[in-house]
Structure 1
């Protein structure tokens, strides 16, 4: 095959279009017309299409379409990119957002020109019913009369806002024309189409089952016999469709109908506020999610201005080499500062929640959970409510207190009280538990401090969607979730406060009984302990630093310090005299030590050196030994308390009874301590252990009483 033939085979075949042609004699013919190669390929016409064209009378042949010369003006405009469309849409909404918000605010105010919807009524309207329609107002008289037999929830104008209120219903009668002596009025809780619960009195007759009478009123009974709850027919239909189409469980649907619009909370002035601080790293955001073209719609509803936070943390000096006396917590350790190859823009959230689980303030984390995050949020809380006493619960409150002292922020530390949440406190060592436990720090009552953890459990469900959003959309989405969470908590706040009050009463009763039993069991005590003694011990501040000073030799008098150095010098001299190896390496080390100690003694001496038998030397050593014995006694007390804490934890988690733990502690520990410290034989170890047990019982008693006083003085939680 020649080269030209191969080239002809490689060419693309020409495109043709079939046209129907009718000759003057009536013969039908089909002609192929070559189409320009730049035209799109058309679908081939079928025989049925050709036949239909003949039947419809479309017999005139059509000339082929000519391609128009391409020009820049005739071509359509290039399609805009997704980012341009998104920016244009957001700009269009931004222009109308303020107007739409203002219009919504105007609808929430009672117009001055509003009149009662009932014709002929001249009374001023005080009620608005959105269920009856938009801008429908009634006076008080007609509001009650009009809503009889209706599952509506009108709002009444009071104190500058509309507040929803249920209308007291007259008895409903399933069979109005049926008169029977067996009719009895019974209250039925009716759930309407919007999930609102109405208490409706219904006259039920004994001639028919209660379920049939409720169904005749388009109400589905909750139980087959003697129902007390009924659901509106339209609500049941809606739940069925949602379950089939959206595959949602019945519990999820009921939870969606559970919340109601929140009431207006009073602002906090004075008093106290218990808040819990913590961070979460499950709500990160990727850098690849894009940038924001507009600020968040919820400007600062919950989120603090991020630029102010970043500026503070950038200039804040983190304390380096801070001594971590507790466990190795990740909070405050900058463990999350290394970003994953620079792909994460925001690593998480840091926020504050009040003791009633109401969200307060939040901001984004750019790095790890630094100690400066808690410092900034505490400052913001104080600036927002300067006359309020703040009680702060933080996982590493012990490290935060040490940091504030080390950096000279004692003024900020004096305005707050710090404690560790109830479940995190067991990760700290016992000495830290005694200082920062919520049961031992005054003012925290029975707060567990884990409110923020319950909020994180709710927000973690949004992590899959928020990590792919822009920064502004992510803040708006989380704010919507926080508003929804607040509504749910307000709905259940009354029941929660009631449960906590009952729990406080039970704790108070139990602790009083334990305290009375502990005080009455002092049969072998030389000096029985009274409740007044324990209250005095509670008010006394513990000084662990002084105990450490006694043990290490600090805060000694100059004479005692000189006596200790002199005793060391004499001991070295005696060791040199006993050593017969004059040229040994050990002898050279001893000689250097003696020479160095002699130089130190010369600097401390102002007269002649004390001899080994001088009374002033022996008295100084005796006082030093007494200090050491007192230090040993304090160490025994610390060991006993720590042991008692561990045994109580074992009792709580392993079922060990309190009497066995106290018996084990009193017998085993007493034997070990008396063997090693014979000089403390006059101290009653049993009495000291009893003091510890009674002290803990009294602490629980006092703080349980504080919870009851706090609950009785407030009918509504104003501490948020």
Structure 2
């Protein structure tokens, strides 16, 4: 038994020593990666002093301006850096207009600048083409962006960011405030001021029904209500039967019901699915 614990301790010491030696190699490699030794494009091998790298492309190759625009000719939310004065500095590329193929043959088109929040919580200023034949939120959906407002939105969130927030709220009970603070904390200090416009306070925008509407949108996409006979999210996950209703009563009847917190302006989105309407509950207890 003693020999067994000795072997575990020896294996642990070897693992720690290997991790420390590997960490030093990783740090040295990262320092070399964040510097430029030869002023040559790694893609076309052209010698130039104007070198760039993309933090979102795999490999972060150092390329010239021509190769940079060639690799990012499509609409993107990548962060670009330029090699200047012996270090990489945030660089704003020339803004290209995001065009939807649906508006290709229409004449009533116009462009508008929006602040787009990507899947990592970074803010970008992008120019998007809209058409009077279609509402702006519908056009944003074509780019996997969720509008902050149903009318003339100025901010748009990437679907992946809001899905990540939705999952954390459901499984980890993370508040929207903590999520926004975590987005700020996870960014390296060199990338906190890469936006080309004054940073927006996304927490206030999210709480203006933005995240609640998106969560209901996800529910409608996951459970197609327009088709009869499909699961609407209320069926038993084991047998998919809902013939027998189940009723659960809150035990805290002595708590005072307060109205100082405000009143919802919208009707319940899952009415009669999970919760019984309050007037029916009051009528039930009145006739007991």
**How has the CA–CA distance of structure 1 residues 176 and 145 changed in structure 2, closer, same or farther, with 3 Å as cutoff?**
farther
- 2: CA distance, partners of 1:255 / 1:194: 12
Alignment-derived partner of residue 239 in structure 1: 165
- 2: CA distance, partners of 1:226 / 1:112: 48
Alignment-derived partner of residue 122 in structure 1: 46
Of 247, 261, 285, 2:188 maps to 261
Match of 1:203, SS? strand
Shift of residue 113, structure 1, vs aligned partner: 7.4
Alignment-derived partner of residue 98 in structure 2: 172
Of 5, 21, 26, 1:95 maps to 21
Alignment-derived partner of residue 83 in structure 2: 157
Is the contact between residue 40 and residue 47 of structure 2 (CA under 8 Å) also seen in structure 1?
A: no
Gaps spanning 5+ residues in structure 1: where? Answer: 1-74, 264-486, 496-720
1:155-212 Cα offsets, whole Å, 9 max, x none, are 1111111112232321111235533332111101111111111111111111111111
Alignment-derived partner of residue 384 in structure 1: none
Is the contact between residue 190 and residue 230 of structure 1 (CA under 8 Å) also seen in structure 2?
A: yes
**How has the CA–CA distance of structure 1 residues 157 and 189 changed in structure 2, closer, same or farther, with 3 Å as cutoff?**
same
Of 34, 58, 61, 1:133 maps to 58
- 2: CA distance, partners of 1:100 / 1:151: 28
- 1: CA distance, partners of 2:140 / 2:159: 10
Match of 2:6, SS? coil
- 2: CA distance, partners of 1:247 / 1:262: 27
**How has the CA–CA distance of structure 1 residues 79 and 143 changed in structure 2, closer, same or farther, with 3 Å as cutoff?**
same
- 2: CA distance, partners of 1:190 / 1:224: 16
- 2: CA distance, partners of 1:182 / 1:164: 36
Is the contact between residue 127 and residue 154 of structure 1 (CA under 8 Å) also seen in structure 2?
A: yes
Match of 2:97, SS? coil
Of 126, 134, 152, 1:226 maps to 152
Moved more, 124-133 or 83-92: 83-92
Is the contact between residue 113 and residue 126 of structure 2 (CA under 8 Å) also seen in structure 1?
A: yes
Gaps spanning 5+ residues in structure 2: where? Answer: 199-288
Shift of residue 145, structure 1, vs aligned partner: 4.6
Query: Larger Rg: 1 or 2?
Result: 1
Superposition pairs of residues 378-527 of structure 1, within 5 angstroms: none
Match of 2:189, SS? coil
- 2: CA distance, partners of 1:243 / 1:111: 46
Match of 1:190, SS? strand
1:616-674 Cα offsets, whole Å, 9 max, x none, are xxxxxxxxxxxxxxxxxxxxxxxxxxxxxxxxxxxxxxxxxxxxxxxxxxxxxxxxxxx
Is the contact between residue 243 and residue 249 of structure 1 (CA under 8 Å) also seen in structure 2?
A: yes
Alignment-derived partner of residue 67 in structure 2: 142
Alignment-derived partner of residue 718 in structure 1: none
Shift of residue 239, structure 1, vs aligned partner: 2.0
Superposition pairs of residues 11-160 of structure 1, within 5 angstroms: 77-80=3-6, 87-112=13-38, 114-117=40-43, 119=44, 122-124=46-48, 126-148=51-73, 149-160=75-86
Shift of residue 86, structure 1, vs aligned partner: 5.2
Match of 2:24, SS? helix
Shift of residue 228, structure 1, vs aligned partner: 0.8
- 2: CA distance, partners of 1:176 / 1:116: 37
Alignment-derived partner of residue 465 in structure 1: none
Superposition pairs of residues 501-580 of structure 1, within 5 angstroms: none
Alignment-derived partner of residue 249 in structure 1: 175
Superposition pairs of residues 674-685 of structure 1, within 5 angstroms: none
Is the contact between residue 190 and residue 229 of structure 1 (CA under 8 Å) also seen in structure 2?
A: yes
Alignment-derived partner of residue 54 in structure 1: none
User: What is the TM-score of this pair, normalised by structure 1?
Assistant: 0.25
User: What is the TM-score of this pair, normalised by structure 2?
Assistant: 0.58
Alignment-derived partner of residue 185 in structure 1: 111
Alignment-derived partner of residue 24 in structure 1: none
Match of 1:131, SS? coil
Is the contact between residue 103 and residue 131 of structure 2 (CA under 8 Å) also seen in structure 1?
A: no
Is the contact between residue 155 and residue 164 of structure 1 (CA under 8 Å) also seen in structure 2?
A: yes
Of 112, 135, 140, 1:214 maps to 140
- Tell me how many residue pairs correspond in the alignment: 192
- 2: CA distance, partners of 1:106 / 1:191: 31
Superposition pairs of residues 321-336 of structure 1, within 5 angstroms: none
1:428-486 Cα offsets, whole Å, 9 max, x none, are xxxxxxxxxxxxxxxxxxxxxxxxxxxxxxxxxxxxxxxxxxxxxxxxxxxxxxxxxxx
**How has the CA–CA distance of structure 1 residues 97 and 216 changed in structure 2, closer, same or farther, with 3 Å as cutoff?**
closer
Structure with the largest fraction of helix: 1
Superposition pairs of residues 268-417 of structure 1, within 5 angstroms: none
**How has the CA–CA distance of structure 1 residues 225 and 234 changed in structure 2, closer, same or farther, with 3 Å as cutoff?**
same
Shift of residue 131, structure 1, vs aligned partner: 1.3
- 1: CA distance, partners of 2:170 / 2:95: 35
- 2: CA distance, partners of 1:95 / 1:225: 56
Shift of residue 242, structure 1, vs aligned partner: 2.5
